C-alpha cells in the first residue's frame, strides 16, 4: 500500500499562503498552496493515500475531494514526495544559503537561512541574515520577526533597533541616533567604495558636481564644507575649484578613508547638526552628498547651513525622493523626503530653492532609487 512521505532532502518554510519547499539536490523550489501544504505535512510515510484523503477531503469543497490523489501523483512525479525513505543529504543550511545568495538565488537562500536559524536559534547572526534576506524579498513581517529574535539576543545593536522602528510602524525619530550611524558606517567602511561604485552605480557625487558647475560656472578659489564627507567620493569631484575644502563626518572609520584620499584641508569627527549650530565660519559652498538620508527632520540642518553661507554661497545636497510629506522612515532605515516640505523648510530658513531636480540616485537590490538634487542660496532681500 502506497504510503507517501515528504522527500528527505527538502527544506521547507512558511510562504505567503502555504509552504515553500526547496530541494538542494534538484535546485528546485516548490510553492505549495494551503491544501497542498496540509497534504505534505500529513505525508509522513505512515498514512496511506486513502487515509490521507479521509483526513483532507472533509476540509475541502466537494469538487476538490478528488484532488488528494492527483496531488500525490503529481508530487511523486515532481520529486516533492517519495514512497520509501532515502538518506537525507548532509547539508549545512547556513553555508548553502550564502552560496545561493552569491548566485542571486534569493528565495532558495531564504528557505535555507530559515532552516539555519530554526536549527540554531541561539546564533544571533543567523537571525540577522534571515532578516536581511526577508527584507530583500519584500517579506516585511518575516523581516520584523527575524530582527526581533536577533535583538532579543543582542539588545545593544543600534542599527537593528532603528530598522525595527520602521518595521513596527512606530512613529519615526527625527533622525537616526549617533550609535546607529557609527555602527552602520563601521561596517560599511570595509567595502564602501567598491559597493557604492561597482555594485550600486552611485550617481550622487557626479550629479551634485554637475549642479555646482552649472550654477557656479568656472568659479574657483572656493571655501567649501562637505557634510558627512564619508570617504571623499563627492569631495574629489569639487576639489579642483576649492582653495580650502573641509569635511566633517560622524564615523571615525569613514574619516580614515577620507584622510587617505588626501583631498581635504581639514577633517573633523562631528555630528552634522551640532557642528553647524556651533559653526562661526562662512563658506562659499556647503555640500551634502547622500549625507542626510538618515535625517527625517531637516530643519536644524538647513537652518545651520544657511547660517554658514557667504551671501553668494550655495547649499547643494541630495536626498531620496519620497511621496509622503514631510518625510518617511523606510524599511531600509533611511528617510525619504517630499519636495514640497523641503521648499517650506528652505523658505523658513531664509533660503530660496535655485534648483530642485529629481532623478536616478543609485541602485538597491536591482531597483533604481529615485533621488532629489537641490541647490539653495540665501534669499534676496530686494
Instruction: Give the Cα separation of 315 and 7 in Å (integer).
Output: 62
Set of cell numbers at residue 347: 523658505
- What DSSP string describes 242-262? EEEEEEEES-HHHHHHHHHHT
| Residue spans of beta strands (DSSP E) within 24-122 | 28-31, 81-82
- Is the predicted pLDDT of residue 77 greater than 90, yes or no? no
Set of cell numbers at residue 10: 527538502
Percent of the chain with pLDDT over 90: 76
pLDDT of residue 62: 55
What is the bridge-based pairing of β-strands 242-249 and 222-227? parallel
Q: What is the pLDDT of residues 28-37, one digit of tens each?
A: 999 988 888 8
Instruction: Give the Cα separation of 360 and 336 in Å (integer).
Output: 14
Closest CA to 254 of 242, 268, 265, 275: 268
Kindly report which listed range (189-203, 272-286, 309-323) carries the lowest average pLDDT score.
189-203
Q: 32 and 18 in contact (C-beta within 8 Å)?
A: yes
The CA R_g of the chain, rounded to the nearest whole Å, is 27
Q: What is the pLDDT of residues 138-182, one digit of tens each?
A: 999 999 999 999 999 999 999 999 999 999 999 999 999 999 999
Cα separations in angstroms, 178 against 251, 273, 277: 9, 11, 17
CATH code of the domain made up of 192-378: 3.40.50.150
- Is the predicted pLDDT of residue 65 greater than 80, yes or no? no
Q: Give the pLDDT band (50/70/90) at residue 382.
A: very low
Residue indicated by cell numbers 530541494: 23
pLDDT of residue 82: 82
pLDDT of residue 336: 98
Q: 166 and 172 in contact (C-beta within 8 Å)?
A: yes
Collect all residues with Cβ–Cβ distance below 8 Å to 70 and sequence separation of at least 6: none
Length, in residues, of the chain:
382
- Is the predicted pLDDT of residue 280 greater than 80, yes or no? yes
Closest CA to 97 of 124, 80, 116, 119: 116
Residue indicated by cell numbers 564627507: 229
Name the 3-class secondary structure at 19: strand
pTM of the predicted model as reported, rounded to 2 decimal places: 0.89
pLDDT of residue 81: 86
Q: What is the pLDDT of residues 189-233, one digit of tens each?
A: 999 999 999 889 999 999 999 999 999 999 999 999 999 999 999
Residue indicated by cell numbers 564644507: 225
What is the bridge-based pairing of β-strands 327-329 and 309-321? unpaired
Q: In the chain, where are the structural domains located?
A: 5-82, 192-378
Name the 3-class secondary structure at 310: strand
Domain covering 5-82, topology: Outer Surface Protein A; domain 3 (3.90.930)
Q: 226 pairs with which residues across the strands? A: 247, 287
Q: What is the pLDDT of residues 91-146, one digit of tens each?
A: 899 999 999 999 999 999 999 999 999 999 999 999 999 999 999 999 999 999 99
Residue indicated by cell numbers 581635504: 264
pLDDT of residue 75: 82
pLDDT of residue 150: 98
Q: Give the pLDDT band (50/70/90) at residue 66.
A: low
pLDDT of residue 114: 98
**What does the mean pLDDT of the chain come to?**
93
Amino acid at each position: 500500500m502506497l504510503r507517501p512521505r515528504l522527500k528527505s532532502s527538502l527544506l521547507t518554510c512558511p510562504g505567503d499562503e502555504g509552504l515553500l519547499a526547496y530541494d538542494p539536490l534538484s535546485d528546485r523550489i516548490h510553492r505549495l498552496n494551503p491544501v497542498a501544504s496540509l497534504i505534505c505535512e500529513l505525508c509522513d510515510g505512515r498514512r496511506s493515500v486513502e487515509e490521507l484523503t479521509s483526513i483532507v477531503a472533509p476540509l475541502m469543497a466537494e469538487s476538490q475531494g478528488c484532488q488528494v490523489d492527483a496531488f500525490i501523483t503529481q508530487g511523486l512525479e515532481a520529486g516533492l514526495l517519495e514512497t520509501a525513505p532515502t538518506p537525507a543529504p548532509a547539508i549545512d543550511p547556513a553555508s548553502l544559503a550564502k552560496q545561493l545568495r552569491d548566485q542571486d538565488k534569493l528565495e532558495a537562500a531564504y528557505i535555507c537561512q530559515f532552516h539555519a536559524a530554526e536549527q540554531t536559534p541561539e546564533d544571533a547572526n543567523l537571525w540577522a541574515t534571515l532578516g536581511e534576506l526577508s527584507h530583500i524579498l519584500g517579506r516585511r513581517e518575516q523581516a520584523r520577526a527575524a530582527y526581533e529574535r536577533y535583538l532579543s539576543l543582542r539588545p545593544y545593536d543600534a542599527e537593528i533597533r532603528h530598522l525595527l522602528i520602521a518595521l513596527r510602524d512606530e512613529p519615526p525619530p527625527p533622525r537616526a541616533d549617533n550609535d546607529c550611524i557609527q555602527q552602520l558606517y563601521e561596517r560599511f567602511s570595509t567595502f564602501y567604495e567598491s559597493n557604492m561604485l561597482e555594485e550600486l552605480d552611485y550617481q550622487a557625487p557626479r550629479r551634485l558636481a554637475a549642479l555646482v558647475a552649472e550654477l557656479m560656472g568656472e568659479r574657483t578659489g572656493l571655501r567649501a564644507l562637505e557634510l558627512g564627507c564619508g570617504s571623499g567620493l563627492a569631495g574629489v569631484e569639487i576639489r579642483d575649484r576649492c582653495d580650502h575644502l573641509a569635511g566633517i563626518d560622524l564615523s571615525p572609520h569613514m574619516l580614515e578613508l577620507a584622510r587617505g584620499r588626501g583631498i581635504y584641508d581639514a577633517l573633523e569627527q562631528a555630528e552634522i547638526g551640532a557642528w553647524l549650530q556651533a559653526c562661526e565660519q562662512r563658506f562659499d559652498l556647503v555640500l551634502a552628498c547622500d549625507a542626510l538620508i538618515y535625517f527625517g527632520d531637516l530643519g536644524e540642518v538647513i537652518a545651520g547651513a544657511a547660517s554658514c553661507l557667504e551671501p553668494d554661497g550655495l547649499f547643494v545636497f541630495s536626498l531620496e525622493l519620497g511621496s509622503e510629506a514631510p518625510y518617511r522612515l523606510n524599511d531600509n532605515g533611511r528617510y525619504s523626503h517630499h519636495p514640497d516640505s523641503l521648499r517650506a523648510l528652505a523658505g523658513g530658513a531664509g533660503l530660496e530653492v535655485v534648483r530642485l531636480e529629481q532623478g536616478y540616485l543609485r541602485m538597491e537590490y536591482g531597483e533604481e532609487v529615485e533621488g532629489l538634487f537641490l541647490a539653495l542660496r540665501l534669499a534676496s532681500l530686494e
